[in-house]
């Protein structure tokens, strides 16, 4: 929690996800409380346009996986997505109570 900003902490406490901005593109991503299949790419209105899965090596607690995903997207977005798997999602659905960033 101490590595999230105030908005991200509020989102996580209320919805068990938080949003981040990609450090290269500025795209919005939602990271849900899970250790895999949990990163949604959002458009500016909050609709999910792509779903991604990438996780660090090793057996880590869910919260550590989420922190690694946050840092990867913010600092190494291109590298993270180059190893990520894009998977089928219901594109166009609105992320749960997505807050404007």
At residue 90 the predicted structure's pLDDT band, cuts being 50, 70 and 90, is low
- Note the pLDDT of residue 100: 42
Output the pLDDT for position 95. 56
* Confidence at 99, pLDDT banded by 50, 70, 90: very low
pTM, rounded to two decimals: 0.85
Spatial CA neighbour of 39 closest among 61, 9, 18: 18
> Are 21 and 101 a contacting pair, CB within 8 Å?
yes
């Amino acid at each position: 929690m101490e590595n999230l900003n105030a908005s991200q902490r509020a989102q996580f406490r209320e919805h068990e996800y938080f949003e981040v901005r990609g450090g290269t593109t500025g795209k919005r991503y939602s990271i849900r409380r899970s250790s895999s299949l949990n990163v949604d790419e959002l458009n500016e209105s909050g609709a999910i346009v792509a779903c991604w899965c990438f996780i660090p090596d090793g057996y880590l607690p869910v919260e550590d996986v989420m922190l690694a995903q946050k840092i990867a997207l913010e600092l190494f977005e291109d590298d993270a997505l180059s190893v990520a798997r894009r998977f089928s999602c219901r594109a166009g659905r609105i992320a749960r109570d997505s807050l404007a960033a």
